[in-house]
Structure 1
Amino acid sequence: MTPTQLRAFAAVVRHGSVKRAAAELKVSESAVSLNIGQLRKELGDQLFTRTSAGLAFTPGGLRLASRSAELLGLQDRTILEVSQAGRGRRLLRVAGSSLFAEHAAPGLLELFGARAADLDIELSVRDPAQFETLLLTRAVDIAIGSLPGGLDPALVARPVMNHQIVLVTGPGHPLATGHTSLSRLREQTWLLGPSAASSLGAVPAMLRRLAVSEDRQQIFQSHTAAIEEAKRDRGVAPVLSFTVAQDLTERRLVRVSSAAAPIDGQWHTIRLNAATPAADELSRFAATPRAIQAMVRGTGVTVGRFRPSIHVTLWS
């Protein structure tokens, strides 16, 4: 068995489809089928068959499904550990939801990274719906953000920080005074950050509950950009309350009075049961008063302490 064959099989198991597995791996369907065929020949097992309801896995296929994740994870971990040992450094890969990554991660990771001179921290912005797959495939070491439902037993979640989402607009906007009905609120232009594109979290839940149509939603590349547009009276923005406290005090923004908000949310750390020591330590540290204070304060990050992964999104 080769890692390429196991990755192809693991992708088929995750998606229940050769076509979707090929799309994830960025290879052709024939390449995935070839790898599956080689596994079938070597193991003497059909592994799965196609039915009208989807793929039906044999007992051997189910056993290989669990083992393939373990084997691939062990390979990735070994490669990482050898690389780190050669450089004399450790790498902690953190996946964060967009709200957490933009507003809270800098302060937390700067404070945590200062505790260990040999630790590099890599942060990537991910949809919380992807957290489970990222952790089980060991693509990241720890995830922080909204908690997906029905976590795999191999994962451990720990509550980190409660937060509140409020609605704001500019002082010259029609909704800046008086109580606003839900129907009137629904018809406003909504100024949104990347978190609105996720399926999980307080902001997407609010949009679904209010049934805000897509043509009323403007999604910006950052939540800060959405807030700046709200200051210009161009719409309503759902924001983390602690990020706009100063703007509210100085009347650059005004809270919208409505039954829709405020709403409460909570961030969790999620990691494997057998997580790396650094991931386990960050999970414990993130819930401490010092860490929460750093997240709210939003301390900047020292060059060299934190290396963000870059993900480019084109909005049409």
Structure 2
Amino acid sequence: MTPTQLRAFACVVRLGSVKAAAQELHVSEAAVSMHVAQLRKEFDDVLFKRTSSGLAFTPGGLRLASRAVEILGLQDRTLLEVSQAGHGKRVLRVAASNLFAEHAAPGLIDLFASRADDLQVELSVRAAARLPSLLASRAVDVAIGPASSSPVPSLALKPFLNYEVVAVVRRDHPLAGAPVTAERVRRLAWCLGPSAAEAEGVVPAMLHRIGVPEKQQQIFQSDAAALEETRGSDGVALAVKFSVAGDLAAERLVVLSGPGLRAQDSWVAMALPEHAQTPAASELLRFITTPRATQAMVRGAGVNLGRFRPAVYVTLWS
């Protein structure tokens, strides 16, 4: 049993076909089939069969799939840790949902990374629904997303910050200053950040409850860009309230009042069970609930990603 064989089998399990696995691994279908055949011979188990509706796995095949992900993740982690140790550096890989990444992550990670000279933090922006699988495969050390997402019992969960999302418009908007009905706001142009396109989270849930038609939704590359459009148009935006506190205080924006136009949620940090966590991941889970961390996360609209310390790396994912 070799890592190459396990990687091929894990790809077949995840993607549901030998052809798709070959494409992802940039090898031939024959090569993937050969690796699977070698595993079948070694374990004396067919592992899976092809059916009209896809692949059907044996109990042994499912167990091997789970173990393959763990073994490959441990191998990758070991290579990374040995490399880090050789250079006197530690790396903490954090994945976060769009809302947290834009509005709270910059202050938190800037402060956390500054506490240790040997620590580098890599932040990637991922869909909330993918966070548990990224942890399970050890692609990241800590994942942060909305508490309203489906809980995963096998993970360590640390709720840490409540927040409110509100509908905002420019101060001289025709609907500003009085309660409005859902029917009226549905006809507005909605200027939205990338979290509106996700399957889970408070923003898509609000849009669903209000019944905003897709044709009225304009998705911008960030909440900041959506708010900028809102300040100069008759559109409406959904904003994390603490991130627009300055605009509300200066009356550049006002909160719309009406059914479904505000909602509350909280963020939760997720990691593998305590015995499987890296020291840096355990440290972040402890730090994230402290008053200093809370202050860093809610100190305004957040720090621009370009102003991160050099020890912090940001990767954006579609």
Relative to the length of structure 2, the TM-score reads: 0.91
Percent same amino acid among aligned pairs? 56
Task: Tell me the equivalent position of 2:277.
Answer: 275
Q: Which amino acid aligns with 2:113?
A: G
Residues 227, 47 of structure 1: alpha-carbon distance in 2 compared, 3 angstrom cutoff: same
Runs of 5+ consecutive residues of structure 2 not aligned to the other structure: none
Residues 162, 189 of structure 1: alpha-carbon distance in 2 compared, 3 angstrom cutoff: same
In structure 1, C-alpha distance between the alignment counterparts of 2:174 and 2:20, rounded to whole Å: 47
Q: Does the CA-based 8 Å contact 2:110-2:309 persist in structure 1?
A: no
Shift of 1:269: 0.3
Alignment partner of 1:75 is 2:80: no
Shift of 1:74: 1.2
Task: Tell me the equivalent position of 1:225.
Answer: 225
Q: Does the CA-based 8 Å contact 1:132-1:152 persist in structure 2?
A: no
Q: Give the secondary-structure state (helix, strand or coil) at the position aligned to 2:269.
A: strand
Q: Which amino acid aligns with 1:282?
A: L
Task: Tell me the equivalent position of 1:39.
Answer: 39
The number of equivalent residue pairs is: 311
> What is the CA RMSD across the aligned residues, in angstroms?
2.0
In structure 2, C-alpha distance between the alignment counterparts of 1:225 and 1:30, rounded to whole Å: 48
Q: Does the CA-based 8 Å contact 2:188-2:234 persist in structure 1?
A: no
Task: Tell me the equivalent position of 2:93.
Answer: 93
Q: Which amino acid aligns with 1:263?
A: A
Q: Which amino acid aligns with 1:275?
A: Q
In structure 2, C-alpha distance between the alignment counterparts of 1:93 and 1:251, rounded to whole Å: 39
Shift of 1:112: 0.8
Q: Does the CA-based 8 Å contact 1:171-1:233 persist in structure 2?
A: no
Q: Does the CA-based 8 Å contact 2:180-2:257 persist in structure 1?
A: yes
Task: Tell me the equivalent position of 2:167.
Answer: 167
1:194-233 equivalences under 5 Å are 194-233=194-233
Q: Does the CA-based 8 Å contact 2:167-2:237 persist in structure 1?
A: yes
Task: Tell me the equivalent position of 1:108.
Answer: 108
Q: Does the CA-based 8 Å contact 1:110-1:306 persist in structure 2?
A: yes
Q: Give the secondary-structure state (helix, strand or coil) at the position aligned to 2:46.
A: coil
Q: Which amino acid aligns with 2:103?
A: H
Single out whichever of 269-278 and 39-48 deviates more from structure 2: 39-48
In structure 2, C-alpha distance between the alignment counterparts of 1:259 and 1:20, rounded to whole Å: 46
Deviations 1:45-80 (A, max 9, x none): 210112344432223212212211221111011111
Relative to the length of structure 1, the TM-score reads: 0.92
Shift of 1:3: 2.1
In structure 2, C-alpha distance between the alignment counterparts of 1:217 and 1:167, rounded to whole Å: 14
Q: Does the CA-based 8 Å contact 2:94-2:123 persist in structure 1?
A: yes
